[in-house]
Structure 1
Amino acid sequence: MEAPPDNDVLWARSLHYRYPDGSPALAGVSLGAREGEILAVSGPRGSGKTTLLRCLSGLVPVRHGEVWFNSVPVHTMGPVGRERLRRDRFGWIDPAPLLVPELNVWENAALPLMLRGTSRRRAKTAALEWLERLDIGDKARRRPHELLQAERQRASIARALAPAPAVLFADEPTAPLHRADRSHVLRTLMTAARSHGITVLLATHDSETAALADRTVSLLDGRRVNTVHLPPAPDTEGRAACSLSA
């Protein structure tokens, strides 16, 4: 088993993955991401972007291929080891906000820190800082059901950034946002990653979002390809606010 390059914080080789029905999702994907690098994983819907991020982050076990984090083989870890790795070193942003309904906004944002053992006071301070950066500090004491969809997504992004993860997996993180919000949130995300040395793997089917990354890996039908022409993201303004408001 060949060790990964020293300058790659995350490294994968020849990843293969099949869905439960047997259809292929990944077919021999290899990549490496350096510390502090923002790497876009681009491709149309159904190309394998989310599956790749789930394999790299340990959300699903790798049965064929290798995944390494800081020279530690993730692919040989059991469920408990992968869960601890995700809790302590990784952050995750879903395309749709997944918040704990019983907690208010700052408690949701502080939750990963408190699960690590950080004191409630310190976790709250970090959570409030990110909520302010993402322009929802005034919603800190509200419950998720009191927020608009875009506000809930900002809270989810604050939750992912508050613990300052070593690697942040962002799966279409601005999909629910209006076009005007999308640019601001992406700038905040990119600035935070660069200032804190966070490695970001950003899955996107939007060419404008992919262009903000340091480098792009393109997928098509579960395989790496040289180029995929991506359409610009549609403007969701109005439709998201009307249909997904609390």
Structure 2
Amino acid sequence: MEAPPDNDVLWARALHFQHHDGTPALSGVSLGVREGEILAVSGPRGSGKTTLLRCLSGMIRPQEGEVWFNSVPVHTMGPLSRERLRRDRFGWIDPAPVLVPELNAWENTALPLMLRGTGRRRAKTAALEWLERLDVGDRARRRPHELRQSERQRVCIARALAVGPSVLFADEPTAPLHRADRAQVLRTLTTAARSHGITVVLATHDARTAALADRAVALLDGRRVKTVHLPPVAETTTAAGTAGPSGTEGRAACSLSV
């Protein structure tokens, strides 16, 4: 078993993973992520981006291959050790907001801190600070059902950043947001990551989002490729505050090379 390079906080070699129906999700993917780097994992939907992030974060174990975090072999850890690693060192943002319905916005944001043993007052202060940065400070006492989807997603992003993770895994983190909101939230996320030394692994199928990263790797059908054509996402606004692709603009392709 070969140890990873010293300057890589995350390192993966020859990852293979199949879905339950036998469909390959990853086929021999290898990569390294440097400390403090913002890495975009790009590719169309179904290319294996989410599966790769789930393997790198220890959420699932690859069926073949190795994953290392700070020279520790994640792929040999048991379920409890991987769960502690995710709780103590990693942050995760889903493409759709998932919050505890009984808790208000600041309590949802502070929850991971309190689970780590941070006192309630200190956790609340950190939570409110991040909610303000993400322009939802005035919604801090609202419960999830009282928030728009875009506001709920901002709370999820604040929750992931508040714990000061070593690595933040962001799976299409701005998908529920309007175009203008998306740019502002991404700037907040990337600026916070750089100022706090947080390594970010960002999955996206949007070329504009990938362009904000320090470096990009492209996936297609579960394999790394040199070039992939990513459609810039064009949104149509709905009354609920969510965004979706619109016809002709969404098909305009641009090339991303790595």
- TM category (shorter chain) comes to over 0.9
Work out whether 1:110 is the aligned partner of 2:110: yes
The question of whether the paired residues in 2 share the 8 Å contact of 1:58 and 1:86 is answered with yes
Work out whether 1:129 is the aligned partner of 2:146: no
SS in 1 for 2:98: coil
Alpha-carbon distance between aligned partners in 2 of 1:162 and 1:208, rounded to the nearest angstrom: 26
Structure 2 match to 1:3: 3
Structure 2 match to 1:180: 180
The question of whether the paired residues in 2 share the 8 Å contact of 1:63 and 1:75 is answered with no
206-215 or 60-69, which deviates more: 60-69
**Unaligned segments of structure 2, at least 5 residues:** 245-258
Alpha-carbon distance between aligned partners in 1 of 2:172 and 2:243, rounded to the nearest angstrom: 19
The question of whether the paired residues in 1 share the 8 Å contact of 2:166 and 2:199 is answered with yes
* TM-score scaled by length of structure 1: 0.97
Alpha-carbon distance between aligned partners in 2 of 1:111 and 1:43, rounded to the nearest angstrom: 33
- Partner deviation per Cα, 1:100-159 (whole Å, 9 max, x = no partner): 000000000001101101111111111100000000000000100000000000000000
* TM-score scaled by length of structure 2: 0.93
Work out whether 1:196 is the aligned partner of 2:204: no
Structure 2 match to 1:226: 226
- Partner deviation per Cα, 1:38-65 (whole Å, 9 max, x = no partner): 0000000000000000000011112200
Structure 2 match to 1:159: 159
- Partner deviation per Cα, 1:146-182 (whole Å, 9 max, x = no partner): 0000000000000000001000000000000000100
Alpha-carbon distance between aligned partners in 1 of 2:4 and 2:60, rounded to the nearest angstrom: 21
Structure 1 match to 2:43: 43
- Partner deviation per Cα, 1:85-108 (whole Å, 9 max, x = no partner): 000000000000000000000000
Higher strand share: 2
Q: Larger RCO: Structure 1 or Structure 2 (Cα < 8 Å, ≥ 6 residues apart)?
A: 1
Structure 2 match to 1:86: 86
Residue-pair matches, total: 244
Alpha-carbon distance between aligned partners in 2 of 1:195 and 1:240, rounded to the nearest angstrom: 33
Give the Å deviation of 1:83: 0.2
Structure 2 match to 1:205: 205
Alpha-carbon distance between aligned partners in 2 of 1:111 and 1:34, rounded to the nearest angstrom: 29
SS in 1 for 2:127: helix
SS in 2 for 1:228: strand
Give the Å deviation of 1:239: 5.6
| Residue pairs, 1:27-66, within 5 angstroms | 27-66=27-66
SS in 1 for 2:142: coil
SS in 1 for 2:5: coil
State the identity as a percent: 80
Amino acid at match of 2:135: D
- Partner deviation per Cα, 1:9-39 (whole Å, 9 max, x = no partner): 0000000000011110000000000110000
Amino acid at match of 1:180: A
RMSD: 1.3
The question of whether the paired residues in 2 share the 8 Å contact of 1:136 and 1:151 is answered with yes
**Unaligned segments of structure 1, at least 5 residues:** none
Structure 1 match to 2:69: 69
Amino acid at match of 1:137: G
Alpha-carbon distance between aligned partners in 2 of 1:236 and 1:176, rounded to the nearest angstrom: 11
SS in 2 for 1:21: coil
SS in 2 for 1:217: strand
Structure 2 match to 1:148: 148
